[in-house]
Amino acid sequence: MGAGFFAISVVVGITPEMLPKVVVSSPHLVYAPYRVDIVGPNFAHSAVRVARKKVIVKVFEAIQSLGAVNILCSDKTGTLTIDLVRVSGLTPSSGEPSDLPLKLA
C-alpha cells in the first residue's frame, strides 16, 4: 500500500519535468524535451548569444533580472579558479566613457 502511494507521488512529481518545452521562434516551433514554456524570439536569440560565449547558466530567467541590477557585489574566493576578478569593460548609464568606476573597483 505504501509503495503504491510512493509510486504515484513520484509519477505526479516528475510529470511536469517530462513535458516538452516549446520554444517559439517566429514563424517556426522548435521542440526540446524538457518542460512546457513559451519563449519569445528575443529570449531565444539571447539564449543563443549566451551559449556562444560559453556561459553556464542554471536558471536562464535570472539573466533578465540581472539586467536590471544597478550594483553587483560579488565575493570571488577562488574556489574554482584563481582569486582574481577581471573587469573587461564598463558602460555608464550616461553612455560616455569614464575611468571612475575602474578607480573605485
CB 39 within 8 A of CB 24: yes
Identify whether 75 is a catalytic site residue: yes
Instruction: Look up residue 53 and give its three cell numbers.
Output: 560565449
**Catalytic hit among 37, 75, 83, 99:** 75
Taking every pair of Cα atoms in the chain, the longest distance, rounded to a whole number of angstroms, is 69
| 8 A C-beta contact, residue 22 and residue 43 | no
Residues marked as catalytic: 75
